[in-house]
C-alpha cells in the first residue's frame, strides 16, 4: 500500500480549524441522546468542498491517468490498489476491508468506516471503463463550452471515476462537520461495464445490510436517476439445412433467411410508448455464398421499463416461428439487469436529497428516467431505497468527448456529504 501511496498527491492544507474532523475515539463512540443531530449548514459544506476542490480534482485525475479497461485484469488490479490507497489516504484505514475475487472480471472491494450514528449507507461505484488500455495516449482535451465553462476530459472521467472520488471526499467532509455520520460501506466493482456478473451478489448483500444505497454514477445533466430500464442481451441461434445453392437449393432451408424473418418480427415487438426498445446489433451466419446457410446467429439488445414488459417480450419472442418448418430457432433469454423504478423508500431518500439541494440554493434536485442500466437496478429490484446518478456532472459517456464540468464538483460532493449527515439515523419505512 505504501508504494501505491507514493503515487498520490499529498493531503494538502488541513481543513479549517473549526471544521476539523472528530478524533478516532469520538468517531467510534456511540451517539448519546444528548448529542444533537443538527448538521452543518449545507452552504458551509459546499464552501468547504470549494476550499478543497483542487485536491478533489487532483485525485480524480490521478484515477483517470490509470487506465482500467474492463478486459485488462492487470490494469484493473493495479487500479483497484490505487483506489484503495486513495480511500486510506483521505479517510484513514477502514474498520473492515474485503477484496472479493472477480475471476475473469475485476475484483470487488468493500471498505467499511464505522460511523457515530446508527445509520448505515452503501456508496457504490465501478472503477472499470469501456476504454481499451492505451486509449489515454491519444486522448485530446475538448474545447471549452459555448458559455465559457471549463471542461476536463479523459477515459472514464465522467463514467465514473469522478463519482468515486466525490464519494470518498463526501465522507471526509461529513466527518469534518462534527455531527453524527452513518457507518459507510464503499463498494468498488470492476465489472459493471460488462454486466456485473461477479459483483452482483456482493452488491445485493451490501445493499441489504445498509439502510440506503447511493450509486455514484454520473448525473443526467445534473439530475439524479430514479428510474432505469432493465436490459438483456438475447442470443438467437438459428439452425437450418445446408444445400448447394445452385444444384439443389430446394433441398436447403436457409438459416439466414429465417433469422432475417425473426429480426423483423422481433423489431415489431418493441413498444417505444412503453419504453421498450429492441435492437439487433450483431448478425453472423453462413459458410459460403454458394451454400444455403445452415447456421446463423444474432445478438439483440432489449430494454424495458417494467417487469410486465419484460414478461411480454419474453412471450412474444418465444412465439415467433420460421416460415420454413425445417428451421429450428433457439433463444437465450439473458436478462442482465431488472428494471429500476422509484419505490416508496427511494422517494423518501429523494426527498432528503432535495432538502440538501434547496439548502445549496439549487432548488429541488431534478430526477430523471434513463434508458441505460446500472448496479442500482439490482438494489431497486430488492425493494430497497436507492438513488443513482449521485456523481459527476458532464456528458458524453462512452464517447471520446467524455467530460466533466469541474466547477460542479464542490456542489456534487457536498450533496452526498449533506445526505450522509441526514442518514446518520436509519431511513425508515422501506418498500
Angle at 357 between CA 180 and CA 157, to 5 degrees: 90
Residue 142 has a pLDDT of: 75
CATH tag, 2-228+340-422: 3.40.630.10
What residue ranges do the domains of the chain occupy?
A: 2-228+340-422, 230-337
Looking only at the bridges linking them, the beta strands covering 183-190 and 120-126 are: parallel
Grid cell locating 136: 489515454
Q: What is the pLDDT of residues 309-333, one digit of tens each?
A: 999 999 999 999 999 999 999 999 9
Nearest to 184 by CA among 50, 91, 101: 91
What average pLDDT score do residues 188-207 get?
98
Grid cell locating 417: 456529504
Burial of 98 (0-12, 13-18, 19+ CB in 10 A): exposed
**Omega prior to 160 cis, within 30 of 0:** yes
Catalytic residue positions, numbered:
128, 192
pTM: 0.86
Q: What is the pLDDT of residues 20-69, one digit of tens each?
A: 333 343 344 333 333 344 446 778 899 999 999 999 999 999 999 999 99
Grid cell locating 408: 460542479
- The DSSP H or E segment spanning 167 is helix 162-176
Residue 40 has a pLDDT of: 62
Domain topology for 230-337:
Alpha-Beta Plaits (3.30.70)
Ramachandran quadrant class, 389 (left: phi over 0; alpha: psi -120 to 50; beta: rest): left
Q: Which residues contact 280 (CB under 8 A, 6 or more apart)?
A: 263, 266, 267, 298, 299, 300, 301
Amino acid at each position: 500500500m505504501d508504494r501505491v501511496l507514493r503515487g498520490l498527491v499529498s493531503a494538502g492544507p488541513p481543513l479549517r480549524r473549526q471544521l476539523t474532523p472528530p478524533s478516532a475515539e469520538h468517531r467510534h463512540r456511540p451517539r448519546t441522546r444528548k448529542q444533537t443531530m443538527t448538521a452543518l449548514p449545507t452552504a458551509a459544506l459546499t464552501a468547504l468542498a470549494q476550499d478543497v476542490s483542487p485536491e478533489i480534482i487532483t485525485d480524480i485525475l490521478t484515477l483517470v491517468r490509470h487506465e482500467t479497461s474492463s478486459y485488462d485484469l492487470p490494469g484493473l488490479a493495479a487500479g483497484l490498489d490505487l483506489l484503495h490507497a486513495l480511500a486510506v489516504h483521505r479517510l484513514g484505514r477502514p474498520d473492515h476491508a474485503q477484496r472479493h475475487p472477480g475471476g475473469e472480471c475485476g475484483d470487488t472491494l468493500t471498505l467499511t468506516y464505522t460511523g457515530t450514528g446508527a445509520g448505515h449507507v452503501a456508496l457504490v461505484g465501478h472503477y472499470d471503463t469501456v476504454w481499451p488500455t492505451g486509449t489515454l495516449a491519444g486522448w485530446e482535451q475538448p474545447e471549452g463550452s459555448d458559455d465559457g465553462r471549463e471542461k476536463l476530459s479523459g477515459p472514464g472521467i465522467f463514467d465514473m471515476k469522478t463519482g468515486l472520488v466525490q464519494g470518498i471526499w463526501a465522507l471526509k467532509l461529513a466527518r469534518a462537520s462534527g455531527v453524527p455520520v452513518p457507518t459507510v460501506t464503499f463498494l468498488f466493482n470492476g465489472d459493471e461495464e460488462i454486466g456485473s456478473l461477479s459483483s452482483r451478489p456482493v452488491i445485493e448483500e451490501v445493499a441489504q445490510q445498509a439502510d440506503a444505497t447511493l450509486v455514484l454514477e454520473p448525473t443526467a445533466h445534473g439530475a439524479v436517476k430514479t428510474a432505469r430500464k432493465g436490459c438483456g442481451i438475447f442470443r438467437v441461434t438459428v439452425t437450418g439445412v445446408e444445400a448447394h445453392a445452385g444444384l439443389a437449393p430446394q433441398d436447403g432451408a436457409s438459416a439466414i433467411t429465417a433469422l432475417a424473418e425473426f429480426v423483423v418480427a422481433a423489431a415489431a415487438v418493441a413498444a417505444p410508448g412503453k419504453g421498450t426498445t429492441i435492437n439487433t446489433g450483431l448478425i453472423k451466419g453462413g459458410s459460403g455464398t454458394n451454400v444455403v446457410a445452415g447456421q446463423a446467429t444474432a445478438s439483440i439488445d432489449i430494454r424495458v421499463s417494467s417487469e410486465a414488459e419484460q414478461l411480454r417480450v419474453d412471450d412474444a419472442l418465444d412465439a415467433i416461428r420460421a416460415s420454413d418448418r425445417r428451421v429450428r430457432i433457439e433463444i437465450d433469454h439473458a436478462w442482465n439487469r431488472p428494471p429500476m423504478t422509484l419505490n416508496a423508500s427511494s422517494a423518501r431518500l429523494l426527498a432528503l436529497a432535495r432538502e440538501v439541494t434547496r439548502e445549496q440554493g439549487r432548488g429541488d434536485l431534478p430526477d430523471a428516467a434513463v434508458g441505460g442500466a446500472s448496479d442500482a437496478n439490482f438494489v431497486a429490484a430488492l425493494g430497497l431505497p436507492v438513488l443513482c446518478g449521485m456523481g459527476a456532472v458532464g456528458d458524453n459517456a462512452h464517447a471520446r468527448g467524455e467530460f466533466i464540468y469541474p466547477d460542479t464538483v464542490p456542489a456534487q460532493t457536498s450533496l452526498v456529504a449533506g445526505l450522509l449527515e441526514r442518514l446518520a439515523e436509519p431511513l425508515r419505512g422501506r418498500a
